[in-house]
Structure 1
Amino acid sequence: MPLISLDRSKTSLRAAALARRAALSETARAAAAQALLGRPFPLAITAGDVVAGYFPLRGEFDPRPLLQALAEQGARLALPAIVGPDRPLAFRAWHPGEPLVKGQLGIPEPAAAAPALTPRTLLVPLAAFDRAGHRIGYGGGYYDRSLEALRRDGVVTAIGLGFAVQEIPLVPALAHDARLDLVLTEAETIDFRS
């Protein structure tokens, strides 16, 4: 498939999945975030493990209840920060309730003075996903670059968080598109690590 056709395909798939996500009520969104707390987290978390999440925007699946629960199990938390175009994300220490600052794209993130951390587990927002572990993000490539760098430097488990309505039959993925290891929705845990 030509690159331009692939880009158009991803754009239309992204728009359709985001429309389904946008149609969810606030009650359904809150219930989905709580649903993750009702089943075991798919990885063992030991004291000091670094788990990076994200600050939810535009109706994204809210990882904050899960992050709070993981912190109570001893995880150290981090949130991403954009440090420049075409660069991997930086991950900075964060504790629930700590104030955040607006980053380069207006996304809340820890202040630049917060310690940099390397996550062992990375919670990834998404626009759409498929049963092969591919995701469609928002087109900036930040998570693809970040996962490539983290995987080159060690072991990291990438867990996409999304609503079941964001699943699509097939993501048109390219070689540089980083695969997820798992996806958590309000309905199930989908494991691609086999």
Structure 2
Amino acid sequence: MSASPSKADLRKIALDARDTMHAAARATASERLAARGLPFEIAEGTVVSGYSPIRSELDPTPLMRKLASQGAKLALPAVMARGKSLAFRAWSPGARLTLGPLGILEPSPAATELIPDIMLVPCAAFDRLGHRIGYGAGHYDFTLAHLRKMKPIVTVGLAFAAQEIKAVPALAHDVALDYVLTEKKAFDFRSN
């Protein structure tokens, strides 16, 4: 009897599927997701955090632009240190970004820190129970656990449909997402 695949194995399978997509197909998927928007209404002034896409991730920028046009305040995460909560700094489309400690673009440390109401979360892989696999550092799980002590936060995973896997081997500290949006479908996990 073979052992179940590890998170690392599942991450590799999903990322390989993502990486095989042509750049034009990824861009089209990001635009298609943005055109559909969030599957719920947002109030004026709602703080939405996105992320700076790395490698072949789904680009949240088109969706963030749409949300800004609907009155959302935007933020991007900044990595403070391993084992510490991410900080979220105000950002607007076209604003200058700086290279953070992990080589990811972030707003300037001088930008206003915000606590998001809605977090757009990158997924390496996801399943139909709202579990995600990230890149293994635990930044989002730790941050969500920390921030949800202060206020409710809606989590929206963003991924390509090709990144869906049958089951994520979720651990006790893993935080399930409220939604996952792909270019093909919106999944609502709030009743799970």
TM normalised by structure 1 equals 0.95
Question: Displacement, 1:90?
Answer: 0.3
Q: 1:115 aligns with which of 112, 116, 134?
A: 112
- Deviation string for 1:104-161 (max 9, x for gaps)? 1111000101000000000000100000000000000000011111211111000000
1:98 is aligned with what amino acid?
Answer: A
Aligned partners of 2:37 and 2:63 also within 8 Å: no
* Partner of residue 177, structure 2: 180
Percent of aligned pairs with the same amino acid: 53
Query: Match of 2:55?
Result: 58
Tell me the equivalent position of 2:159: 162
1:85-112, CA deviations, whole angstroms, 9 ceiling, x for partnerless residues? 2001000000000010011111100010
Match of 2:67, as an amino acid?
L
Q: Deviations over 1:23-45 (max 9, x none)?
A: 00111101111112332421211
Instruction: Give the partner amino acid of 1:44.
Output: E
Paired residue for 1:97, among 94, 98, 116?
94
Counterpart of 1:78 in structure 2 is: 75
Separation (CA, whole Å) in 1 of partners of 2:149 and 2:65: 28
Report deviation, 1:84: 1.2
Q: Which runs of 5+ in 1 are unaligned?
A: none
Aligned mates of 2:172, 2:37 — CA distance in 1: 32
Structure number having the greater helix percentage: 1
1:18-75 residue CA offsets vs partner (Å, 9 max, x unmatched): 0000000111101111112332421211211100000000100100000000000000
Q: What stretches of structure 2 of length at least 5 have no aligned partner?
A: none
For residues 172 and 148 of structure 1, the distance between their equivalents in structure 2, rounded to whole angstroms, comes to: 19
Cα 1:17/1:153, change in 2 over 3 Å: same
Partners of 1:41 and 1:134 lie apart in 2 by 19
What is the distance in 2 between the residues matched to 1:139 and 1:39? 30
d(CA) in 1 for partners of 2:129, 2:67: 26
| C-alpha RMSD of matched pairs (Å) | 1.2
In 2, the alpha carbon distance for the partners of 1:100 and 1:70 equals 19
Query: 2:103 pairs with 84, 90, 106, which one?
Result: 106
- The range that moved more, 40-49 or 11-20, is 40-49
